[in-house]
């Protein structure tokens, strides 16, 4: 379990986080999604006790991270895959950490296999690793103490499609076994395939959160009637905002039942009423975060 309550972080006059709250429950993968500079890393660093917040608090398994006994055996963290000593081999790094954590040395070989670092790769110095190999090693490192919580900052960065596929499976299995996962990304496609819940952040504020279904529903419904003008009037009378969709139907910002009732009350016959679907979620994400990146890169 991870609880983030009203976190605020200021660097001088710059507000990096503004009243950020969310929770991650056991058995679920939470995708933490936002453009570059939105505040994802800052939030994760605060959760892991590496950066002090200006206000609010974060707890992991009921305590602030710094007060957890033997945190490495309870919380697996991957914040920066390049943070390992470049002169050591992957196997050495894991063996050393296993000793510190008191983990079974056999676990190192098991994890090297699990993350797809074969003998040749495991015996190479990390300085020569690609980013994808560092991410695999970082994930093995996070899993070493057999934790029940994983906190991963952009773990798919640098992974090839096969690597991303493999990582999704690993995280799903971890959650299905009762684990709690928080993973960040700036790519909607990357997290929507694996996350049960999404927390969307833009300019240091949580702009939306919920299950994928809830967010898709909140992105509206597509509705079409034989008489579009009458439908528009019915929606306006019911206080429902609607805009013209890309190819005919209106995009109404309300749940399907409310839209259906508004049309029925005005005697308008509908010929289509359905969730705005994935495209709607993408639109929602873009509209919620557009203009919030501080490097102009935007979100794909």
Residues that bind ligand ATP (CB under 6 A): 11, 14, 16, 34, 36-42, 186, 294
Contacts of 264 (CB under 8 A, 6+ apart): none
Q: How many alpha carbons lie under 13 Å from residue 277 in its C-beta half-sphere?
A: 6
> What's the half-sphere exposure (Cβ side, CA atoms, 13 Å) at 281?
23
Q: How far is the CB of 181 from ligand ATP (least distance, A)?
A: 17
- For the CB of residue 253, give the shortest distance to ligand ATP in the complex, in Å: 27
- Least CB distance from residue 174 to ligand ATP, whole Å? 22
- Smallest separation, CB 270 to ligand ATP (Å): 41
108-135: b or e for each residue (b if 16 or more CB lie within 10 Å)? Answer: beebbeebbbeeebbeeebeebeebbbb
The pair of three-digit structure tokens given for residue 148, joined into one six-digit string: 């029940």
In the complex, minimum distance from the CB of residue 159 to ligand ATP, in angstroms, rounded to a whole number:
16
How many Å apart are CA 58 and CA 74, to the nearest integer? 16
Q: Which helix (H) or strand (E) holds 213?
A: helix 212-218
């Amino acid at each position: 379990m991870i609880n983030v309550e009203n976190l605020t972080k200021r660097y001088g006059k710059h507000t990096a986080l503004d009243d950020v709250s969310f929770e991650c429950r056991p058995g679920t993968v939470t995708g933490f999604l936002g453009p570059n500079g939105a505040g994802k890393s800052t939030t994760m660093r605060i959760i892991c006790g590496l950066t002090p917040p200006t206000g609010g608090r974060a707890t992991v398994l009921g305590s602030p991270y710094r007060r957890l006994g033997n945190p490495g055996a309870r919380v697996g963290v991957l914040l920066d895959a390049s943070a390992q000593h470049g002169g050591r081999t992957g196997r050495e790094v894991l063996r050393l950490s296993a000793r510190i954590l008191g983990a079974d040395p056999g676990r190192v070989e098991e994890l090297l296999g699990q993350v797809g670092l074969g003998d040749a790769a495991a015996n190479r110095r990390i300085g020569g690793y690609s980013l994808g190999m560092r991410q695999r090693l970082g994930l093995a490192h996070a899993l070493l103490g057999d934790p029940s919580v994983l906190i991963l900052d952009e773990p798919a960065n640098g992974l090839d499609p096969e690597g991303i596929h493999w990582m999704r499976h690993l995280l799903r299995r971890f959650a299905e076994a009762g684990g709690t996962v928080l993973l960040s990304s700036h790519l909607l496609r990357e997290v929507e395939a694996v996350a049960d819940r999404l927390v969307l952040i833009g300019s240091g504020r949580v702009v939306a959160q919920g299950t994928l279904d809830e967010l898709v529903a909140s992105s509206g419904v597509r509705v079409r009637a034989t008489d579009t003008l009458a439908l528009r009037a019915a929606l306006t009378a019911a206080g429902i905002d609607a805009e013209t969709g890309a190819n005919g139907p209106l995009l109404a910002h309300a749940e399907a039942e409310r839209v259906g009732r508004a049309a029925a009350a005005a005697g308008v016959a509908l010929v289509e009423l359905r969730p705005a679907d994935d495209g709607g979620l993408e639109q929602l994400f873009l509209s919620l975060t557009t203009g919030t990146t501080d490097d102009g890169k935007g979100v794909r």
